[in-house]
Every structure is written in structure tokens, then in C-alpha cells.
Amino acid sequence: MELNNLKPAKGSTHHDKRVGRGAGSGHGRYSTRGMKGAKSRSGYSQKLGFEGGQMPLQRRLPKFGFKNLKRVEFKPINLSTLEELAAKKELNVINIETLVAAGFISSNDKVKILGNGNVTKALNVTAHAFSKSAEAAITAAGGNVEKL
């Protein structure tokens, strides 16, 4: 086998349809576009969502809801995750930098500590927000809670 012998597998390629090249080609006269009308003209494009004059779906359905521009979205992290992280890395202080380094969050995420799981070690935890149960569990284990 050499480069000059290579060709595509049989049936994998086809010729482009040559339209408007005379009646003998089978694709002459109207060039497979049918007769008259906007769709037969060059430059025709239908508006997005146009349904032939019928009231389009996006106008038939009612508007609803809104986006709260002041919403603050937190990345949730459970106490069980903090406990595992502290045990694996042998840490007493857990802050945003620690969580970023561990790959739980990105540097511009806001973090909320949630109370799923339990804490056995006294941890000093720094985060943007805490649930009441998480705050209670951390202080009960002899740790500190600091909000940013």
C-alpha cells in the first residue's frame, strides 16, 4: 500500500447535487426548489420560531418567574467533608484556601458549611456562612467558627 493507492471506502463518498444545469440533468429549471414563493428565492431565511403565521409557542405560553439580581449563591460543604479533610491532611484550621487547595471549591466561590455529619476534632473553620446545626456541632467539639 502506498499513498498513491489510497482511496475512500466504497460508498463513503458521494458527488454534490449539480442543480440548474439543464433539463437533461434532472435538476434543471426550478433546481429542486419547487415553483415560486419565498422559499424558492435566494437569500430566503425564516425567522427563528416562525410557525407559518400560527401564533408561535413562545408567544402562546405565559411569562412567569424572575431572576433575583441580589441572590448570593453558596457552595455547600458538609461537616462530614470537613472531618475527612482534617483527618487526611491532619489540619486544625480549615479556611477558604484549604478548601481551594483540596479542590472542593474555586477561589471565587462563597462557601456555606452545612450540618450533615459530625465533628470529633476541635476545628477552627472560616467560611462565608454556617447553618445553625453546623455552627453548634463545631463549637460543641471545641472548635471555633469565623464568618468572612
Phi-psi region of 31 (alpha: psi -120 to 50; beta: other; left: phi over 0): left
DSSP 33: S
Residue 133 lies in a domain: yes
**pLDDT tens for each residue of 73-109:** 999 999 999 999 999 988 899 999 999 999 999 999 9
Q: Which residues contact 135 (CB under 8 A, 6 or more apart)?
A: 113, 145
Is-above-0.85 flag for pTM?
A: no
Residue 106 lies in a domain: yes
Q: Tally the C-alpha atoms within 13 A of residue 123's C-alpha that lie toward its C-beta.
A: 28
Distance in angstroms between the alpha carbons of the first and the last residue of the chain: 69
Residue 44 lies in a domain: no
**pLDDT tens for each residue of 111-135:** 999 999 999 989 999 999 999 999 9
Q: Express as a percent the part of the chain with pLDDT over 90.
A: 93
Q: Which amino acid is at 120?
A: T
Q: Domain tally for the chain?
A: 1
CATH code, domain carrying 128:
3.100.10.10
Domain span holding position 137: 74-147
Q: Report residue 21's pLDDT band, with 50, 70 and 90 as the boundaries.
A: very high
Residue 10 lies in a domain: no
Residue 19 lies in a domain: no
Residue 81 lies in a domain: yes
Residue 95 lies in a domain: yes
The stretch 4-27 carries a mean pLDDT of: 94
Residue 101 lies in a domain: yes
Q: Which of 111, 118, 133 is nearest to 84 (CA)?
A: 118
